[in-house]
Amino acid sequence: VYDVNMPYHHGHLREALVDAALATARRDGPDAVVLRAATRAVAVSPSAAYRHFADRDELLSAVAQRCMSHLADVIESRLAEAPGGSDPVATAWGRLRAAGRAYVEFALSEPGWFGTAFGAPAGPPVPSAVAPGSPFQLLNELLDDLVATGALPPEKRPGAEYAAWAAVHGIATLLVDGPLRHVPPAGRDQIVTGVIDNVVAGLSKGLGVPDG
Amino acid sequence: VYDVNMPYHHGHLREALVDAALATARRDGPDAVVLRAATRAVAVSPSAAYRHFADRDELLSAVAQRCMSHLADVIESRLAEAPGGSDPVATAWGRLRAAGRAYVEFALSEPGWFGTAFGAPAGPPVPSAVAPGSPFQLLNELLDDLVATGALPPEKRPGAEYAAWAAVHGIATLLVDGPLRHVPPAGRDQIVTGVIDNVVAGLSKGLGVPDG
DNA sequence: TGTACATCAGTGAACGCGCGTTCACTGATGTAC
DNA sequence: TGTACATCAGTGAACGCGCGTTCACTGATGTAC
């Protein structure tokens, strides 16, 4: 993919290094992101990396950002193919559920990326997880839609983003890496459904609206 | 604490090594658990560790188990001092909330231990997190109590343990390590309360019982 | 159009580090007679 | 009660490893005149 016959002035070394590290992270998680390995993969000397990154953490942060936007992409594409029925309230709940499922499924199908997205140093006060276009922003939009359609009473809106995020993030980490990692796929599905059901039940309490 | 004048036949080397590693894990998390460092802390040669542990992972697992039981202890002691009012239903919900808060507070006050408890290799199919006396078992008992007092309809019991666990575990990891790590303490408290409220709301949906 | 030169993006060798693990060993302990 | 000996729990030196990072360097590129 990259021009091999160009020992000097590689041209896309930064991107190439991030891509290489991304592949490693995918297989083996954030700890496997190693400067020397990335330069090796791109057939470049170790010190070349320092033209593009101050240190290893900067490379890892770049990789983590890519992982996070992969997650956002998966959620968005799942939302794009979500069924939009005639009932806007049911549709809005369905979209929230779909996003939650997508989040957990990403974690399970790409554990390395998922772990990297959240396991990075990322010093800045506004981590990529909550930046514009992030999964968290997507979630907020879905909740706003619920309020707009009247599905969610405005007074239940504050904090709803954390309730939803915590639930899917929690079950994802427990299933991927954690004590539930040995639960077979069928059981996983049921558990995830139950967790999402309870989030929706909590948000819609007193409305009697959605339950399936 | 350990007998220093005993180069040979230390007597409690295994325990001493675990204690040393536990102190490291407390400060710097699971990755900081290092065999050589532990032996250094106990003033013993590196190879001595291999009398007691097959390899580094075995030491780390021992440490992780201790971390997990610290978590269980904190929850249990919090439950012990939970107010037991005259209303058994309210009491049962209050205990569930208290356990949830304790879980998150442990994560925040002992991030190293929390991370170690859940970040270990722990190959076995029944990880210490779900073993007898574990936080997970505690949770199951609390939920059974809710059913026993009539607070929770039996048909909502299955899966409730995952809904509750996912929520508190998720918010804990997001706040401790994750993208919410820069939220100030006051905001954290509000977020945690909201998350727990939503779990309870979800479980008690259709009952109109608890909301505070 | 051709040449001098600054800049840029690489090279490659070296640094110090600490790790997990192995090995042949040895000093202390306790048991059998 | 005293001695021989097996066992047990340590020692200490060494192994190979790969890492992040620095340094003086050099080849290619593009710009000014």
| Secondary structure letter of residue A176 according to DSSP | H
| Cβ-defined contact of A199 to B202 (cutoff 8 Å) | yes
Measured CA to CA, the distance from residue A34 to residue A13 in angstroms comes to 15
Cross-chain Cβ contact A159/B198 below 8 Å: yes
Cβ-proximal residues to B35 (8 Å cutoff; 6+ apart), any chain: B46, B49, B53, B56, B59
Q: pLDDT tens across A128-182, in order?
A: 666 788 999 999 999 999 999 999 999 999 999 999 999 999 999 999 999 999 9
Token pair of B107 as six digits: 């994560």
How deeply is B207 buried, as exposed, middle or buried, from its count of CB atoms within 10 A (0-12, 13-18, 19+)?
middle
Contact A206 B208 (CB under 8 A): yes
From the list B169, B197, B208, the residue facing A170 with the nearest CB is B169
Residues of chain B found within 8 Å of residue A97, distances taken between Cβ atoms = none
Classify residue A204 by its DSSP letter. Answer: T
Nearest nucleotide relative to A13: CA against C1': C9
On the question of pLDDT at A8 being above 70, the answer is no
Distance CA A175, CA A185 (A): 10
pLDDT score recorded for residue A178:
95
Question: CB under 8 Å to B39, separation ≥6 — which residues?
Answer: B17, B45, B46, B48, B49
Q: Which residue has the tokens 């997650």?
A: A71
What does the pLDDT read at residue A133? 87
Closest CA to A104 of A180, A183, A175: A175
Write down the pLDDT at residue B10: 81
Tokens of B175: 């706040």
Q: Is the dihedral of CA B38, B123, A176, A65 positive or negative?
A: positive
In order of B9, B42, B53, B59, B61, the CA distances from B14 in angstroms are 11, 10, 8, 9, 13
d(CA B189, CA B79): 19
- The span from the CA of B19 to the CA of B41, in Å, is 10
Q: Is the pTM of this model over 0.85?
A: yes
pLDDT on residue B99:
98
Cβ pair B71, B114 in contact under 8 A:
yes
pLDDT in tens, A31-82: 999 999 999 999 999 999 999 999 999 999 999 999 999 999 999 999 999 8
Q: How far apart are CA B93 and CA B196, in angstroms?
A: 11
Dmax over Cα atoms in chain A, in whole Å? 67
Within 13 Å and on the Cβ side, how many CA atoms surround A146? Answer: 28
pLDDT at B209 over 70: no
Taking a contact as any Cβ pair under 8 Å apart, which residues of chain A between 68 and 127 contact chain B? Answer: 118-119, 122, 125, 127
